[in-house]
Amino acid sequence: MQWPGAYCDAKGKKCCFPGSGKPTTDFSIHGLWPNYNDGGYPSNCDNTKPFDESEIEELESRLEKDWPSLACPNIGTKFWAHEWNKHGTCSSFSSQQEYFQAGLDLKDQTNLLQALKDANIEPNDEFYNVEDMKEAIKEKIGYYPWIECNRDSDGNSQLYQVYICVDANGKDLIKCPVLPSALANNGDFHLFYFVQQWLGSYCDQHGERCCFPDSGKPAAEFSIYGLWPYYNDGSFPYNCGGGNFNEALLKPMQDSLRKEWPSFTCPQIGRKFWVHEWNKHGTCSKSVLGEVAYFKAALALKNRVNILQALTRAGIRPNNQMYPLKAVKKAIARATGFHPWVVCNSNSQGVSQIWQVSMCVDRTGTRLINCPFVPKGQGDCGSQIKFPSY
């Protein structure tokens, strides 16, 4: 199902209404698409059963209302022909009438606009939490949907399409087992990686040196390195734009940021590190977290995930000794309830040492979750790793 307001307001797009006029304010059907269990889909499966408009004459008035084309120029019945030839011929339906009737029945069954309105989520140009949208729809239909966004002319992320899974008979709603492959990297991130780093390893890595902030050498502690949105295939969006960094907004928390999220680069860049993190990573999560909420979420996670304490309790201390990687991960998992992803670097002697610890966080930036994948491009650790002193 798609929201016509987002289709018509998409950057670089315009829409044309059907001959029957502007449709009512409601979600409209985009398609009923067979999918394989790996997220891929078949297409154009049977050219011996081409679209025949006469088979759906009894449904046309309803299709114009609930399954209209908004493309420019408006293609009218050619949209239905496209949907049948590309998708319907791959379905379990023996006739076009059955296929299009099933789509109309599912629209009645789901009633997405009412589900959102019941949760006080209205089409009023306001911003809403995407997780609240999903919960509202689940409350109505019993299953979580997939939500796809596009961007308006100002670069804002907006609700565009809602995907709901249906059994192979095209009648009963089911839990979605997989995200359609076409949505893997559609600009709608899947989760956050919350990354902390050990300063002793940053300053001791081969070919690098560190410079302390003006406030002096920080305390011996893991510090925030980033809160990074990721797609569900392990890759990540970056530099999404549309959210210029405003330092004034962070003044109430600047002392905390200096302590928990400092820069150690040479030359010392100070607050420019936060600018970099927001512009590269934060702007790609602004549909869920604005600038203030983004940095607050990271600080709250830092208070919750105390890596040094977890390791110390397991007898793993920053004393230049070697420890089993498995023991490091086990200690953090015991303390947090979730398995971490540990990244190592090498010191000037080529010894593998603990550098970064990443935990997966849900899209709201508040709840730790199990990591469904390894982030792409992350370095490996040896089976024994050094915990350098600081």
Amino acid identity at 334: R
- Residue 339 annotated in active site: no
Q: Cα–Cα–Cα angle for 26, 31, 37, nearest 5°?
A: 130
The answer to whether 273 and 258 have CB atoms below 8 angstroms apart is no
Measured on CA atoms in the order 83, 87, 92, 94, is the torsion positive or negative? positive
**R_g of the chain computed on alpha carbons:** 25
- Residue 122 annotated in active site: no
Number of H-type helices and E-type strands within the chain: 12, 9
The answer to whether 149 and 160 have CB atoms below 8 angstroms apart is yes
- Single out the catalytic residue among 64, 87, 190, 291: 87
- Single out the catalytic residue among 53, 82, 83, 276: 83
Torsion over CA of 202, 203, 204 and 208, rounded to 10 degrees?
90
Q: If we measure between CA atoms, which residue out of 37, 130, 38, 371 comes closest to residue 230? A: 371
62 token code pair: 């309803």
- Residue 206 annotated in active site: no
For strands 352-361 and 146-151, give the pairing. unpaired
d(CA 29, CA 21): 17
d(CA 241, CA 280): 8
Kindly give, in sequence order, each residue whose CB lies less than 8 Å from that of residue 312, ignoring residues fewer than 6 positions away.
none
d(CA 274, CA 279): 8
User: Which residues are the active-site residues?
Assistant: 30, 83, 87
